[in-house]
Each structure stands twice: as structure tokens, then as C-alpha cells.
Amino acid sequence: MSLKNRQYDCIVVGGGPAGTTFADIASQNGLSVIVLEKDREIGVPVRCGEAVSDKGLRIFHDVEKEWINATITKIRLVAPNENIIDFKLKESGYILDRKIFDSALAKKAADNGAIIKTKAYVDGLIIEDDEVVGVTGIHLGEPFKLKAKIIIGADGVESRVGRWAGLPTHVKLKDMESAIQETVTGINVESHVFEFHLSRKWAPGGYLWVFPKGNDSANIGLAISGIYAKEGKSAYKYLQEFLKRKYPNGSTNTIVAGGVPVAKTVKKMVGDGVMLVGDAAHTVNPMTGGGIIPGMRSGLLAAETAISVIKSGQKTLKNNLKNYEKQWHKIGGKNHERFYRIKEAIFRFDDKDLIHIADGISAVPEEKRSLLKLFSIAVSKKPSLLFDVARLFTGI
């Protein structure tokens, strides 16, 4: 079915978890919503490590078995000197099958009334009297113009919607991680362990991960600071060196690469007739690089504001949409800022510092280890972290 020139309450540009969460909540509450996804299929290609926490996911949905490739009960940190530190998780985590998961979120939104269109490439905004009122694009070779009360930019870190709307979405080089991941098969990995390698040898200004996917396969990837990527050695080269040393007999099924914004949330998440969610708003946890749950949370909060504004008959100007920004900063924004400052400090540690921290935590019996103890040891190397760590774990 071709796209016709018509009016919606909301147009969502991008069919990832942030965009489809917005569409699901908004359509449940009676708003007319269309999701425009440029790729041919929701959830393809996969662009992340696919890791989430059980607690985070259950904020939005009951966990469906078919979404899950692996259930995680332990975190493993590998220091530069190969010292291994294991932590038992208080609550389990998951490695998702993002293709199935993303498709399920889109189906749920569609079941609640949202229209989902793939291969719908948005190439511009319609702006009238300085207000965003619609989008232009091409769907299956046919140009289209669609209008809406609010345009939702859920189009990722490269967000053109934000840029076209005049919202400052630029990411500093030091806050843009160059990331690459391969799904490797035919290897022996522990099926219930998140494994992280912290070393400038493997991932300067970032970290390397091994996330099991079952059936002797894993997502193995890394992210390095854009500053190091600029210096000549690519993320791809770092990953190949690791794979050659650790998993020489593995076979690569898929490879994906992209940028991860480990930055502060954008200063302006809304404009006249426009809202940014997910990676487009830089909601990724700046310390872990995890973006699925923060993105879904931003989609939920944006939908709640959109519902309130549209149903009350208010104009969708930025002053009326700013409650979304306020709610984001109230619920997750403060911790986001603290994670950013902790990331800035920890990623400056050299390998000697990381070995010192690892040695300190490895002296603690495994049953007594916690992330709080880990951060406490890190504070001994960087005392300025004290207040941010204390506030993270006390909720102040």
C-alpha cells in the first residue's frame, strides 16, 4: 500500500525500540501514529550487543522466551594482565535476538493501531511558520508528503530529523565510540556470562565484550574512543587482533559497525512540533554503551507528553512539549550525567590503574563482590569520583 498525503497525530521516523515504544504507547491511547523505517525489515541489520537487564525490560513488557538467546547470571571483568574477576548478578540479564525482539515491538504497536511502513526513506521536514509540521520522503520509489502534529526523531545517532529541526545533536569526537561487532560461531564460551575486557591493548577509551548467544556462538565486539580511532588504528583492526589470539578457529556469521554516542543527553530534546528519542537524543548509557532500555524509556516518556498535549488541544510547540525533557531528567537524567562523569574518569585510566583496581576487587571473596566495591576501589585512584559514585548507589 502506497503512502498517501494525509494527517496523523504523530509521525515516528525510525523503527527501533525507542520509536516503536513511542508508537505503541501513543496508539494505545488513541493517537494516530505512523512509523517510517528506512530499512526493508524492522530489526535488520542488528547494530548492538543485544544485552539488557531483566529489571529494565520488565518495565515495559513481560519477557517472551523467543526474544532471548541467553540468560545471564554473572559478569566477568578481564583485566589487562588477564586477571579474571567474576560478579554474580543480583538480577539476571539477557542477550536478545534483536531481529525477533524489534519485530515483536513493532507488531505490538501495529496491533494497537499504529501503521508501520518499511523501506520508507524520509528525506526532509515540512516546516511552516518555523514549526515542523510534516515529512517528505520516498516509499517504494514513490515520493510522499505526510503531515502530523508531532514528528518523532527516532532515527539513531546520525539523526537527521534533529539536525533538520535545528536541534543541537552533534557529538564530540571523544564522546563518539567507534564500535564493531562480529557474531562468531564454533567457539567455546560460557553461556551465562557477560564478559568484558578492559585494556588499552584491546579497546583504548572503551571496552571489549563477549556476549554468549547459545549454540557455541557469541557477539564479540568492541568500542573505542573516536580520538583513538582517528589516530590510525581502526576498531576493526583491534577486534581482528583479539579474535586471532582468543578465538582463532571461530567463524564469522555477521559483522556490524557504527557509532555509539557515549555523551550527555542532548540539551534540547524538543522543538516546535518535534521530539527526539533514543540514540537521536543521546540517551545511551555513557558508561556501558547500553541503549535499548534508556531508548525505550525515552520513547515512553515522550509518548506520555505527546498524549497529554494533543488530547488537551494544546499547540505542539516546544514549550508545551518540554515536560518530556523534565521527566527524562527527573527519572534518568541525573544518573545519566553521573555515569558520564564516571566514564570520563575511568576511560582515562591506563592499564596499570586498571590492574590495580582488578587486584583490589579480586582480593574480595566472590560472594561479597559488588559494583559498589569496584567503584570504591576506583575512587582510590580518582577521589573526584566519590560524590558521583555515592549518589548513584544512594539515590541522592
Q: How far is CA 393 from CA 77, 228, 243, in A?
A: 20, 31, 36
- Structure-derived torsion over alpha carbons of residues 380, 206, 161, 121, reported in degrees to the nearest 10: -160
pLDDT value for 167: 95
User: For position 336, what pLDDT does the model report?
Assistant: 85
Report pLDDT for 346.
78
Domain boundary among 235, 261, 287: 261
Helices (H), 66-200: 98-111, 160-164
Say what the pTM is.
Answer: 0.91
Residues 109 and 196 grouped into a single domain: no
List phi, psi (to 5°) of 369: -75, 145
C-alpha–C-alpha distance, residues 258 and 239, integer Å: 14
The answer to whether residues 302 and 337 belong to one domain is: yes
Tell me, yes or no, whether 34 and 124 share the same domain.
yes
One domain, residues 335 and 375: no
pLDDT attached to residue 395: 45
Does 58 map to a domain?
no
Q: Please say which residue of 236, 261, 286 terminates a domain.
A: 261
pLDDT computed for residue 390 by the predictor:
46
Q: Which of 261, 279, 310 corresponds to the end of one domain?
A: 261
Number of Cα atoms under 13 Å in the Cβ half of residue 254: 13
The number of folded domains in the chain is 3
Check residue 122 and give its pLDDT.
97
- For 246, residues 6+ apart whose C-beta sits below 8 A from its C-beta are none
Cell of 183: 557474531
The terminus-to-terminus CA distance of the chain in angstroms comes to: 52
- By residue range, what is the domain housing residue 26? 7-46+99-172+265-343
Going by DSSP bridges, is the β-strand pair 193-197/68-78 parallel, antiparallel, or unpaired?
parallel
Residues in the chain with pLDDT values less than 70: 1-2, 230-231, 371-373, 375, 378-396
pLDDT at 382: 57
Same domain, yes or no, for 142 and 277?
yes
Maximum CA extent, the chain: 66
> Is residue 339 situated within a structural domain?
yes
Residues 39 and 182 in one domain: no
Examine the domain organization and report whether 41 and 142 are in the same domain: yes
- Residue 53 resides in a domain: no
**How many other CB atoms are found less than 10 A from the CB of residue 215?**
11
Can you give the pLDDT at residue 381? 58
Which has the closest alpha carbon to 380: 351, 353, 350, 362? 353
**Predicted local distance difference test score (pLDDT) of residue 337:** 83
Q: Is residue 52 part of a domain?
A: no
Looking at the fold, whether 34 and 150 belong to one and the same domain comes out as: yes
Is residue 56 domain-resident? no
What is the predicted pLDDT for the residue at 103? Answer: 96
Q: What dihedral do alpha carbons 82, 87, 93, 98 form, nearest 10°?
A: -10
Indicate if 190 and 167 belong to the same structural domain: no
Q: What pLDDT, on the 0 to 100 scale, is given for residue 186?
A: 96
Write the CATH number for 284.
3.50.50.60
Note whether 88 and 104 are same-domain residues: no
Q: Specify if 54 maps to a domain.
A: no
> Per DSSP, what are the bridge partners of residue 153?
13, 276
